Structure 1
Amino acid sequence: MDPRRKKKLTYGTIGLIFLLSGVEYAVILPTIWRYLQTLDAQPYFLGLSLSAFSLTGLLSGPLFGHWSDRTRTTKKIILFANIFEIAGNFMYFMGFSKWLLLSSRLVAGIGTGAGSSIFGFLTRSTAPEDRATVFAAVMACRQAGLLIGPACNIFLRLCNFHLGPFVVNKYTAPGLFMCLMWILLQLAVAFMYWDLPQLERMKTRGCSTNTSREEEEDEHGPGEDDEEKPLMVSQELVGSYGAVVMPNPQRNHSGASNHTPPLPAPPPPPPPETQGSPFRNFSIYKEFLREEVVVLLAAQFITLFNQTALETMVTPLTQKYFGYGELENSVMYCLCGVEVIGGFLFVRWLSRRASERVVLAIGLAICIISGVWCLVFLAKPLGDFPWQLTEFIIGVFLQVLGLPFVAVAQVSLFSKITAEKTQGFSQGVRRSVGGLATILGPVWAGGLTENIYIMLGVMMALLALLTVMLAFSYGRLVEPAAEEQGDSQESSD
């Protein structure tokens, strides 16, 4: 098959993976609260069940990322991770007790760890200047799933039949539906996904003359030259360790030189089993305790903490003030999905015209405005029903609006300021920090549904802390590789 077609199918499959992750979230979230109530679960079980999914994803993300860094493959990792998604959603469908439902979210969450491998793969296969655009497109796929999920839920809520010993109703149907979807995705990954870094090793790119062949392979982007390298390279063009050597213009056709002796033949490359590990000379402290990395990890944690806390609060709040059920909540999440997709498309356009740190600052400003609005109007709604509904809609709109700006900016910039060879592990650490936020956020909100001022006050304090960190570290939130490359080019000139 043509390499370009393989690349398109692979990226399309990645889009399907994130699409289904969004569908799963949007299908389960509107109904899980009522589902738990039918199983005689206490209110705190809502926070536990939502956090359980993130807990195992937090633990599995770095492991899957490390696996992909060592093997430079992602296909078998995705196939392995999807098994947990299939099993977890089937357990959710069974739903015999609240403990089985909690266990189902723990099992399904392991499958989300493959996302770190995928982000590492995308980092190694895209050019830095195109990375924000690619990440925005991938994240938009997940948001499209958040849009499709509630629409699916509108039909799933009509289910009311038996499947052997199992009852299929509006609460158990989402689990069965997602189990079937992940099975179909397994087939898509098996037949439509390729490990592109291995397929593109023979392709050229215009890089520095001091860059090794292995670094060229890892940093190759999808928008670069697709011309294939010849299998045999003239010794005149290759020096020690694969460095490019310009041919001597005074060398005659017979290979002899009038002034310089012939270059020695390069040493043979080491066998694959003895080549250096990507984690050689890798230090966790030097990699993740740098100022700019800490700021981005803090942005990841705080924004996801606030987002999941508000999402957990939304369904009890709409039930309390507006009498909303699963249908109304599904429609609400569907409309939020439309807004987020539009936001990601706008950020994709903006990322070509502004730096990531500018996009991050814009998103943080929107999040602060949203937090102030929620603290003023959602903690104690003012006015009658129409005014309360309007206040609620504006608060949700502002919260959803800031998400694409922060999400795309911090992911893209994080991929540029961390080592590319260990990108899978680094993305796993980043997603684990986000997973910790999605664990603590629902637990925090689930225990404070009657104390909204305290809940929102802590969220605003976290946003204020992030604002101070961003202001002091704004100058360091740039891609160091670009500066180093510019310095090396100036020195070579």
Structure 2
Amino acid sequence: MNAMDYRRKKKFTFFTIGLIFLLSGVEYAVILPTIWRYLQTLEAAPYFLGLVLSAFSLSGLLTGPLFGYWSDQSGATKKIILFANCFEMIGNFMYFMGYSKWLLLSSRLVAGIGTGAGSSIFGFLTRSTSPKDRATAFAAVMACRQAGLLIGPAFNIFLRLCDFNVGPFVVNKYTAPGLFMCLMWTLLQVAVILMYWDLPPLEKGKARQSLTGQRREEGNDQGVVEEEEEDDDGDEEKPLMASQEAGGSYGAVVASKPPGRDSSGASNATLSSPPPSAEPPESQAPCGSVKTVSRYREFLREEVVVLLAAQFITLFNQTALETMVTPMTQRYFSYGELENSVMYCLCGVEVIAGFLFVRWLSQRVADRVVLAIGLTICNISGVWCLVFLANPLGQFPWQLTEFIIGVFLQVLGLPFVAVAQVSLFSKITSEKTQGFSQGVRRSVGGLATILGPLWAGGLTENMYIMLGMMMALLALLTMMLAFSYSRLVPPATEEEVEAPDNCG
């Protein structure tokens, strides 16, 4: 494959990834504003809203690590995406049928399986970008999802006008979103088949060369002396390791390396075929055991735990507030589908602007600084919601103003936390097993999006308890970030798995 052909395929592949996240945002924005009224027509209790929203996340939580492990072992993501999208199509068609509340619950459970492919995609993006550009790439992908959140309500404005039959099925403002998304995911299947490629190992080689070159240019500002050059700033953008072979524990710091174990040599060893004098299978078995143990041990490191906690707490609070919003607007402002769709559309504009700003900011400051800014905004939002939204004060104009400010602050902090934690997480975990690692991260987020709606759905009449717990979680995360702030940096030197010489 020549360079021009490679660049063309990479461009189309990244474009298709953007479409996948765009549709995930569209689906969320099309279904969320109407699902509460849809359930009411099926005589569902208020707590059932939390169950339905959580079901979507539950299946994604379970399938994310599996799809990620699959992509790590096979090195392919295209067939995983095609397989996962089938569940999106089936689930949304079940949502369109909507005979009972239990079918609606099952439909979201099935559709959620398709979201598990996201871990494979994030693993692919990690292996295809250098640490310096990774936050920018992740911000662009996340912005695509937010663009879907912006476009989705526009579709809903027209879908709410549907009122006809297709055979035995009724197409109305509640069932139309399911049929619409089923068609959209079907079209995406065609796009993936035509425009998505599993890029060859050449991409790994280019990424490794860029990582090595960046490391030599940036140096280390943490006091570790490199052989190549003097200390320099930019340690936030350091690669995880010089070789993809180091796939386990990262506790050992290597101050100097023998001439035969430099970065490029390790890279070539990774990309080339095994040498003729490879060790017999008996000596390779312990290596696999060490790598397996190290893979799971890395999730217990302090900095990884903090980032997983940030993933859980911010998504828990976000989904809890989203679950609370539609019943709240119905109770205080008598909002219907149109008003809720417009509200989500405006939130989409704000979030996209936030991601664009974070994309610019992440090239100038460290990931942990972006994370701290986002968490500060989230704390302000939590205090505001606890004071003014738990029991809105004043008449309609004041209540609406309090509500708008609370939603604005909550949405404002999301891009900072989302981009910073996923970018930093990809840098402090093993690149070789990024699919599995991203699956674990997304599963933690999935657990949060399960518990968040369940927590809020059962406490719509006890807002102080609901919002008080959310504020307590934010306070806990703030303390964790403060105590571990110095550790939230990518490893600046080559760090290797225990007994690397025995692992080939």
Q: TM-score per shorter chain, which class?
A: 0.7 to 0.9
Question: Deviation at 1:200?
Answer: 2.8
Question: Deviation at 1:131?
Answer: 0.4
Q: Which amino acid aligns with 2:399?
A: Q
Question: Deviation at 1:268?
Answer: 3.6
TM superposition score normalised by structure 2: 0.83
What does residue 379 of structure 2 align with?
368
Asked if 1 retains the 8 angstrom alpha-carbon contact of 2:241 and 2:493, the reply is no
What does residue 166 of structure 2 align with?
163
Asked if 2 retains the 8 angstrom alpha-carbon contact of 1:378 and 1:392, the reply is yes
What does residue 113 of structure 1 align with?
116
C-alpha distance in 2 between matches for 1:212 and 1:51: 37
Deviations 1:448-473 (A, max 9, x none): 00100000000000000000000000
Asked if 2 retains the 8 angstrom alpha-carbon contact of 1:55 and 1:106, the reply is yes
Q: Which residue, 487, 490, 493 being the options, matches 1:483?
A: 493
The answer to whether 1:286 aligns with 2:297 is yes
Q: Which residue, 101, 104, 108 being the options, matches 2:104?
A: 101
Deviations 1:275-317 (A, max 9, x none): 9979934435421010000000000000000000000000000
C-alpha distance in 2 between matches for 1:214 and 1:16: 32
Q: Tell me, what secondary structure is at the counterpart of 1:159?
A: coil
C-alpha distance in 2 between matches for 1:281 and 1:177: 43
Q: Which amino acid aligns with 1:243?
A: G
C-alpha distance in 2 between matches for 1:124 and 1:201: 7
Q: Which residue, 318, 329, 332 being the options, matches 1:321?
A: 332
C-alpha distance in 1 between matches for 2:443 and 2:393: 39
Query: Against the structure 1 CA distance between its residues 38 and 466, is the aligned structure 2 distance closer, same or farther, given a 3 Å change threshold?
Result: same
Q: Which residue, 400, 414, 421 being the options, matches 2:411?
A: 400
C-alpha distance in 2 between matches for 1:87 and 1:22: 18
Trace 1:291-440 onto structure 2 (pairs within 5 A).
Answer: 291-440=302-451
C-alpha distance in 2 between matches for 1:327 and 1:113: 31
Deviations 1:408-450 (A, max 9, x none): 0000000001111111000000000000000000000000001
Asked if 2 retains the 8 angstrom alpha-carbon contact of 1:356 and 1:412, the reply is yes
Asked if 2 retains the 8 angstrom alpha-carbon contact of 1:62 and 1:424, the reply is yes
Asked if 2 retains the 8 angstrom alpha-carbon contact of 1:85 and 1:109, the reply is yes
Deviations 1:93-138 (A, max 9, x none): 0001000000000000000000000000000110001100000000
Trace 1:175-214 onto structure 2 (pairs within 5 A).
Answer: 175-200=178-203, 203=206, 205=209, 207=212
C-alpha distance in 2 between matches for 1:162 and 1:324: 27
Query: Against the structure 1 CA distance between its residues 212 and 370, is the aligned structure 2 distance closer, same or farther, given a 3 Å change threshold?
Result: closer
Query: Against the structure 1 CA distance between its residues 214 and 318, is the aligned structure 2 distance closer, same or farther, given a 3 Å change threshold?
Result: same
Query: Against the structure 1 CA distance between its residues 240 and 335, is the aligned structure 2 distance closer, same or farther, given a 3 Å change threshold?
Result: closer
What does residue 10 of structure 2 align with?
7
Deviations 1:172-219 (A, max 9, x none): 000000000000000111110011243535658253899999839x9x
Asked if 1 retains the 8 angstrom alpha-carbon contact of 2:160 and 2:172, the reply is yes
Q: Which amino acid aligns with 1:469?
A: M
C-alpha distance in 2 between matches for 1:301 and 1:212: 27
What does residue 464 of structure 1 align with?
475
Asked if 2 retains the 8 angstrom alpha-carbon contact of 1:370 and 1:395, the reply is yes
Larger Rg: 1
C-alpha distance in 2 between matches for 1:300 and 1:241: 32
What does residue 66 of structure 2 align with?
63
Q: Which amino acid aligns with 1:378?
A: L
C-alpha distance in 2 between matches for 1:279 and 1:190: 38
Question: Deviation at 1:81?
Answer: 0.3
Q: Which amino acid aligns with 2:209?
A: R
C-alpha distance in 2 between matches for 1:374 and 1:468: 20
C-alpha distance in 1 between matches for 2:241 and 2:396: 66
Q: Tell me, what secondary structure is at the counterpart of 1:171?
A: coil
Task: Name the structure where helix makes up a greater proportion of residues.
Answer: 2
Regions of 4+ moved over 6 Å = 208-214, 238-242, 273-279
What does residue 234 of structure 2 align with?
none
C-alpha distance in 2 between matches for 1:141 and 1:278: 40
Asked if 2 retains the 8 angstrom alpha-carbon contact of 1:305 and 1:438, the reply is yes
C-alpha distance in 2 between matches for 1:116 and 1:34: 32
RMSD of aligned Cα (Å): 2.9
Q: Tell me, what secondary structure is at the counterpart of 2:394?
A: coil
The answer to whether 1:128 aligns with 2:131 is yes
C-alpha distance in 2 between matches for 1:164 and 1:320: 36
Asked if 1 retains the 8 angstrom alpha-carbon contact of 2:244 and 2:431, the reply is no
Q: Which residue, 435, 457, 460 being the options, matches 1:446?
A: 457
Asked if 2 retains the 8 angstrom alpha-carbon contact of 1:91 and 1:101, the reply is yes
Q: Which amino acid aligns with 1:295?
A: V
Q: Which residue, 244, 261, 270 being the options, matches 1:215?
A: 244
C-alpha distance in 2 between matches for 1:277 and 1:78: 28
Query: Against the structure 1 CA distance between its residues 270 and 160, is the aligned structure 2 distance closer, same or farther, given a 3 Å change threshold?
Result: farther
The answer to whether 1:31 aligns with 2:34 is yes
Asked if 2 retains the 8 angstrom alpha-carbon contact of 1:20 and 1:145, the reply is yes
Deviates more, 1:202-211 or 1:376-385: 202-211
Q: Which structure 1 residue ranges, 5 or more long, are not aligned? A: 219-237, 246-265, 486-493
Query: Against the structure 1 CA distance between its residues 279 and 9, is the aligned structure 2 distance closer, same or farther, given a 3 Å change threshold?
Result: farther
C-alpha distance in 2 between matches for 1:14 and 1:239: 36
Question: Deviation at 1:42?
Answer: 1.0
Asked if 2 retains the 8 angstrom alpha-carbon contact of 1:57 and 1:109, the reply is yes
C-alpha distance in 1 between matches for 2:394 and 2:172: 38
What does residue 92 of structure 2 align with?
89
Deviations 1:349-398 (A, max 9, x none): 00001101000000000000001111111111111111111110000000
